[in-house]
Chains A and B, each alone.
Chain A
């Protein structure tokens, strides 16, 4: 909710857009609402490859590139199966794309990228950026990112996004040419606004709080499960370790589960050795031992699947950040409106004082004029005139900012609602598949132990 004096003129997007640009955006969004890119085009991140090359400081580096394949939807359905268009991109280009989207559409909860470095990854799986498993999971995450953007009502129609998918060369230059980097809000400015804003929209404040809580709760879940090699919140983790019992300060759930299953494998070996000295019992023991081995081996699949669940949670962990970013942007626009309004009010006040000659509030001007004498009528006239101009401009500014604020609130809230629905749906699905996975794990456990039991009963 903007401050006093609201007149609604719709302005979408960044306030620094020229009128023609914003018109264009408006048209694009309205036209392509509901017909997201994904409906017209198949997108996938098909492969990953290692490359070596010289980096910016002319040093050799190894990096991974990902193959993005696109194909028009119609072509596939017509029966012909044309070769998809494809190009290679590296992670940093994805980052660039995302940063562009963040700045250009600050009212959108922009889908997150998969993590840059492996945090919260159970260490027996991949934690190294070059590790094939890590690369694979990242590939999936990047594809997910592209699909999310391509199905977003606003983002999917962005030209830069389109060329990211279709134009391998020169894309970077095109992005920089938009000058988006200059439009980015400085962190300091944003932080300042967060602290000083007086009347932010309650809903946004609540959403920001929600984002905080979501982030906290998902972090906790991930941390109970495993802590990765590059611990971000080392202090927090250390605090947790101290609180833990002396027996297991650093091992986490995934490690423990792994241990439980793997140690059963030792039964396999000892049963085999034992069966060698037994006559009638030997066969039963031996075969039971094999089932113990199978049991031990089954944990690898289980933990892979759990890692998938962890990835789903992680996406929303990062989404929480994006949500908070939108809320912060609101605080910024609101703050700027408040500043403009405050400025206007003070200018009006000055005019009044000047016009009536009364000094209401303490001001330096007031003091100096008391000390050094009043101004001449001509001086006063000049000042008044200047103030009038400033007030006019100020009113324009307030009106503008008010509109920006309103518009931002409107469009941001639309996207937040969309995000909420998506989040509820996705997390519910994630919980369902988690439950299904647990069920499958239990069934396998029952089967293995039943097999073992049969062998034991034949001893």
Chain B
């Protein structure tokens, strides 16, 4: 493992939650926080670079003001202050005696000191990405972890090694890593670091950490009843419910369009040959009819491309978001649980007879947990909303673009046909 001692902010998994609070969550000034929480191991270090963060409330302790400057960034800034770049490319097939699988090259460029080197290039397979995500979920349970493309594909239905499938997956994996890399907390996670840099990703390394973090990570306590969900989280839940629905509808619509287009394409493909065979027994009309046949054929190809693009680019992104939302709902549930636990414990204490005894640390811990969770979640939520907006703007604009390109291709084909159709008339004139 490469990185130096992970800073407290980044890897909340190594310290107990009580000591760490999310630096960006200071929107709720009601949060009570121990003043030294931000930098237990030395504040001034500049390694606390957070590439893109949400604006920070200045009511947080002064030591975070130096962060402020770095944090007030425009989300759309093109990596000027980014110091971690990750890409996924170059899929390759590996055949071994036991199995066949695809690996992807993961390239990293960074100036962060958490990394030993500025450049990395490693090969990873889907399993590794899956491992990383699980680790992130375990170690950062208060955060929204981006989704991975679907794990299981039905053999026989989908060809796991087809170019289209591999490319679609590669894009999704690339997006996943980029989202993690852009996250001010997740990107500092040591498992992420290991994923990016270790030559040989030893999954067993994770186990050791797991046992260490075991206790502090157990949020899913279960069994506690929630009194009142704060409005904003209730609103989040509602929004996600409706949004999932709408995404599902859009998915169905897109699928239906693809189906209709494919079937229209099948019919369209029949026209061309008929015009061709017609031209074969005409004299004057031979060239015009042949021209029409060619035109129809061009339009068919254009439609084929459109349908393919929609299948490969549009649908996967929609589905990815559905997965994203599912995992987000889980995080919301966890949050509810943490709050419920706190409330229950608090209630138990309040009803004690001796009111003079200080609130037990146990309950205090719970309170902190709640507050940190809420803070993390809120910050992530805002980030997610922003990213979602960009993603969908891009997705829908892309869809519009593809349709425009399709029509432009067809337009060009038909326009070039017109002079061919009119040509003979002028050349012949009145003569026969």
Cβ contact within 8 Å between A452 and B400: yes
Q: Which residues of A contact B277 (CB under 8 A)?
A: 217
Q: Is the CB of B253 within 8 A of A270?
A: yes
Judged by a CB distance under 8 angstroms, whether A459 is at the interface is yes
Residues on the B chain within 8 Å of A270, using CB: 246, 249-250, 253
Q: Which of B275-325 contact A (CB under 8 A)?
A: 275, 277-278, 281, 284-285, 288-289, 292, 295
Establish whether residues B260 and A263, one from each chain, have CB atoms under 8 Å apart when the complex forms. yes
Question: Distance (Å) between the CB of B372 and the closest chain A CB?
Answer: 26
- Within the assembled complex, what's the spacing in Å between the Cα atoms of A394 and B273? 53
Q: Which residues of A contact B284 (CB under 8 A)?
A: 424, 428
Q: Mark A448-459, 1 if CB is under 8 A from B, else 0.
A: 011011001101
Cβ contacts under 8 Å, B264 to chain A: 253, 256-257, 259-260
Q: Taking beta carbons and an 8 Å cutoff, which residues of A are in contact with B? A: 210, 213-214, 217, 220-221, 224-225, 245, 247-248, 251-253, 256-257, 259-260, 263-264, 266-267, 270, 273-274, 277, 280-281, 284, 288, 421, 424, 427-428, 431-432, 434-436, 438-439, 442-443, 445-446, 449-450, 452-453, 456-457, 459
Chain A residue numbers with a CB within 8 Å of B116 are none
Identify which of A213, A225, A266, A446 contacts B281 (C-beta below 8 A). A213
Cβ contacts A to B, 8 pairs, < 8 Å: A253-B271, A259-B260, A274-B243, A277-B239, A427-B285, A449-B403, A450-B400, A459-B389
Contact status A439-B414, CB under 8 Å: yes
Does residue B73 face the partner (Cβ distance < 8 Å to A)? Answer: no
Contact of B267 among A253, A277, A421, A456 (CB under 8 A): A253
Docked pose: A298 CA to B137 CA in angstroms? 49
Q: Which residues of A contact B404 (CB under 8 A)?
A: 445-446, 449-450, 453
Residues of B within 8 A of A421 (CB): 432
Task: Tell me the nearest residue of chain A to B255, going by C-beta.
Answer: A263
Would you call B209 an interface residue if the criterion is a C-beta within 8 Å of the partner chain's C-beta atoms? no
Please report B residues at the A interface, Cβ cutoff 8 Å.
239, 242-243, 246, 249-250, 253, 256-257, 260-261, 263-264, 266-268, 270-271, 274-275, 277-278, 281, 284-285, 288-289, 292, 295, 389, 392-393, 396-397, 400-401, 403-404, 406-408, 410-411, 414-415, 417-418, 421-422, 424-425, 432
Looking across the interface, which residue of chain B has its beta carbon closest to that of A245? B266
- Partner of A435 from B242, B270, B418 at Cβ < 8 Å: B418
* Residues of A close to B392: CB separation below 8 A: 281, 459
A270-B250, A442-B407, A453-B397 are contacts. A277–B243 as well, Cβ < 8 Å?
yes
List B contacts of A266 (CB < 8 A).
249, 253, 256
- The answer to whether residues A274 and B257 also contact, given A217-B274, A435-B417, A445-B407 and a CB cut-off of 8 A, is no
Given A453-B397, A457-B393: A424 in contact with B274 (beta carbons within 8 A): no
Q: Are B401 and A453 in contact (CB under 8 A)?
A: yes
A442 neighbours in B (Cβ, 8 Å)? 407-408, 410-411, 414
Of B246, B250, B256, the most chain A CB neighbours within 10 A belong to: B246
CB pair B400 A428 closer than 8 Å = no
Contact (Cβ within 8 A) A446 B389 = no
Chain B residues lying within 8 Å of A213, measured Cβ to Cβ, are: 278, 281
CA separation between A260 and B406, bound complex, in Å?
14
Partner pick for A432 among B243, B257, B401, B418, CB 8 A cutoff: B418
Chain B residues with Cβ below 8 Å from A457 are 393, 397
Summarize A's interface: helix, strand, loop or mixed: helix
Q: B410–A456 contact, CB under 8 A?
A: no
Nearest first, the 7 A-B pairs at minimum CB distance are A256-B264, A453-B400, A253-B267, A442-B411, A259-B260, A445-B407, A456-B396
CB distance from B408 to the nearest CB of A (A): 6
The CA-CA distance from A252 to B268 in the complex, in Å, is 9
Contact A256/B260 with A281-B392, A431-B288 known, Cβ cut-off 8 Å: yes
Residues on A with beta carbons closer than 8 Å to the beta carbon of B414: 435, 438-439, 442
A264, B400: Cα distance in complex, Å: 12
- Are B418 and A436 within 8 A (Cβ)? yes
Contact in complex: A432, B422 (CB < 8 Å): yes
**Whole-angstrom distance between the alpha carbons of A217 and B408 in the complex?**
29
Evaluate contact between B274 and A221: CB separation under 8 angstroms. yes
Which residues of the partner chain A approach B424 to less than 8 Å between Cβ atoms? 428
Docked pose: A424 CA to B421 CA in angstroms: 12
With a cutoff of 8 Å between Cβ atoms, the chain A residues found around residue B242 in the complex are: 277
Given contacts A221-B274, A266-B253, contact A431 B292 (CB under 8 A): yes
Chain B residues near A252: list those with CB within 8 A.
Answer: 267
B129 to chain A, nearest CB (A): 29
State in angstroms the CA–CA spacing of A267 and B403 once bound together: 14
Query: Which residue from chain B places its CB closest to the CB of A270 in the assembled complex?
Result: B249
Tell me the complex Cα distance, A288–B268, Å: 29
Q: Which residues of B contact A220 (CB under 8 A)?
A: 270, 274
Whether the Cβ atoms of B246 and A274 lie closer than 8 Å is: yes
Complex formed: what's the CA distance from A84 to B79 in Å? 79
User: Per a CB cutoff under 8 Å, which of A225, A280, A436, A456 touches B400?
Assistant: A456
Q: In the complex the two chains form, is B243's CB within 8 Å of A445's CB?
A: no
Residues of A within 8 A of B260 (CB): 256, 259-260, 263
A432 CB contacts on chain B under 8 angstroms: 418, 421-422
**Bound Cα distance from A248 to B270, whole angstroms:** 14
Chain B residues within an 8 Å CB radius of A245: 266
Q: Give, as a whole number of angstroms, the nearest-CB distance from A29 to chain B.
A: 21
Supposing A439-B415, A442-B414, A453-B397 touch, asked if A428 and B267 sit within 8 A by C-beta, the answer is no
Q: Which residue on chain B has the smallest CB distance to residue A213?
A: B281
Chain B residues within 8 Å of A214, by CB = 278, 281
Give the docked Cα–Cα distance between A434 and B275 (Å): 13
Other 17 A-B pairs with CB < 8 A, given A217-B274, A435-B421: A245-B266, A256-B260, A260-B260, A260-B261, A428-B285, A428-B288, A428-B421, A428-B425, A431-B292, A432-B418, A434-B292, A435-B292, A436-B418, A439-B414, A439-B415, A449-B400, A450-B400
